[in-house]
Amino acid sequence: MAGYIPKIAVAGDEPAITTEERGKSNIEERLGFLEDKILSWDSDQSMIWDRNPEEASKYLKAVDEVRLLTENLGSLHLDIEDREHDVLMSRGYDILQMAMARLEEEFIHLLIQYQQPVEPEHMSFHSTEEDSVDDYSFSSFDEEQVEGRIRGDSSRGSEEFVIDLVHSCAIFDLKRIAEMMFLAKYDKECCQAYISLRKDALDECLSVLRVEKLSIEDVLKMDWTTLNCKIKRWNCMIKVFIRVYLVSERHLCDLIFRDLSQSVRDSCFVETSKSSILQLFNFGEAVAIGSMKPDKLFRILDMYEGLTDLIMDIEALFPEECGACILLECHEVLLRLSEHLKGTLNELKNCIRTSTSNIPLVGGGIHPLTKYVMNYLRVLVDSNEILNMLLEDQDKNQSAPSEDGGRSSYLNSSPMGDYLKDVTSILESNLETKSMLYKEDSLKYFFKMNNVRYMVRKVNDSELQLFLGDDWIREHSRKFRHHAMCYERASWNHVLSFLKDEGIWSPGSSTPSKTILKERFQNFNLAFEEVYRVQTAWIIPDVQLREDLRISISLKVLQAYRTFMGRYSNYLDGARHRDRYIKYHPDDLESCLLDLFEGSTKVLHHPRRK
């Protein structure tokens, strides 16, 4: 400091005093003055920055002068064995250390005093987070309950904004203190104080967001209902935490250390946020190593999609140089989640394949497994883009499908399309096995008709048709119509056999045998009543299929019955107990056929009309 170095002395009566000695004397005098001032500030228990701004500026000016004096003292070319110089240097460092300790206290005080509370309104999910949680269990895919997967908005929108984590009025003072500590080479102490406080602030933020610290063992021991809720919360929390709180934390760090190096800002932010972000990643990793069950797939798929959507945000926040461990952990969690998802997709096939039963489904209706699988697949295609990527990675030998044939052709030949075809094929094989539990051939076909028809309807009414394709739909439409035809033959051919002409006319006679006619009518009545009794208990949930099958049966039965009655009923005119044989008018039979397939057993005791 030139201000503290006097002019060079000239020769005279007195011994010459060197410039270095005169400079040291001036520095010593000035240090003593500044030490007294700093001690007077230090003796006051109140915080300097709680007083007026002018007082804080004076303190910083005094500290800066001590720093400069100490640096100048070190630059003077004095004898290395000058003990006075060493004492003076030590004194300067002691004053500076005392001032730095006080600045650190003031720095911490400002960070705490002006820290802004975590506001729930920044949690854009808060109003819906406690809504009913879809568990994606077996029962949740029953019948028409699931129309599509409920998915969070992955758009960046309102969740991505900066909030003041520390009140803006304190930023200027925090910045000045940080700069002074760095100039005095107390950068490590400054950064440690900042990191320690802001780590605690982020921990408090996670606490307000109700993110628990859970070990892998804790997660693995959880029942699915509890874990399902926690995963749903995690999906919301990580998005808000990264796009609101970490973005804001990065902004705060950049403001306070703005005039310092980029590496300082990066390092402070990474060290501040590392433990909190890794806590969130650890939960994802724990979930990923859990058991692979189809019921869990959709919630874990939410985790994978959510974290994938945040990759760009995370990479922007954490520079590769000092944030490599966080980026590596993020990609590791994504990898483990993807492996879990691929394993779960295979597990779904195994579950369908190994689903067994010793008891046939009453009424031959739609089996719960069919409902579960088809509704599951309908929801699955909502995530076709990401699943296509996962399934393509699983089978790298498969050539990429071409889009030349249009979107439908492309999806039909995609990895997702192939997977869906595999699953439906396995389901059909299982249903074929289940149909063998029925003793009656008619009920075997009836059961298969119901279930294949359900599969076709679910495909037609959803995006599954784009993946399975028109050929699949045509093939399975033919299948359920074939099963319907086989059912009709197995059920009604025996009934209609009593309305045939063969064997009614006695050889050499010009009139039919009344005895045979009576037997035919009587056997027809018994056969029809038995089918009625049994098949009113059978069920066809599909209204259109139920009506179509009734019409088809009516056309065959009523036409045959009307023809038979027209030809032979008059031969029984005047016969004793005629009504025992010709019990039903065609309109009675038509009315009876409307009772079929309602799932409630009925019995015909007498004709409905006379």
Listed range (2-16, 399-413, 530-544, 577-591) with the worst mean pLDDT: 2-16
Two tokens, residue 484: 């319907």
Distance CA 428, CA 494 (A): 29
The segment with the largest mean pLDDT, out of 44-48, 49-53, 279-283, 506-510, is 279-283
Mean pLDDT value of segment 129-155: 52
Q: For the stretch 548-582, what's the b/e string if a residue is b when 16 or more beta carbons lie within 10 angstroms of its beta carbon?
A: ebbeebbeebeebbeebbeebeeebeeeeeeeebb
List phi, psi (to 5°) of 505: -90, 130
Question: Three-state SS for 438?
Answer: coil
pLDDT band for position 575 (cuts 50, 70, 90): low
Q: 309-319: per-residue pLDDT in tens?
A: 999 999 999 98
SS3 576: coil
Residue 483 token pair: 């099963």
Q: Give the whole-number percent of the chain exceeding pLDDT 70.
A: 83
Report in angstroms the alpha-carbon separations of 594 from 426, 495, 535, 554, 579.
Answer: 35, 17, 11, 9, 23
Q: Which residues of 235-266 are buried (b: 16+ CB within 10 A; e: fewer)?
A: bbbbbbbbbbbbbbbbebbebbbeebeeebbb
DSSP 49: G
Q: Alpha-carbon distance 333 to 586, whole Å?
A: 70
What element of type H or E holds 525?
A: helix 514-535
Residue 319 CA to residue 341 CA, distance in Å, equals 29
Q: Record the tokens describing residue 388, joined without a space.
A: 């296509």
* Whether this model's pTM surpasses 0.85: no
Residues 6+ apart with CB under 8 A from 213: 279
DSSP state of 539: B
Contact predicate 286/126, CB 8 Å: no
Q: How far apart are CA 601 and CA 532, in angstroms?
A: 8
Please indicate whether residue 41 or residue 543 has the higher confidence score (pLDDT). Answer: 543
Distance CA 423, CA 455 (A): 12
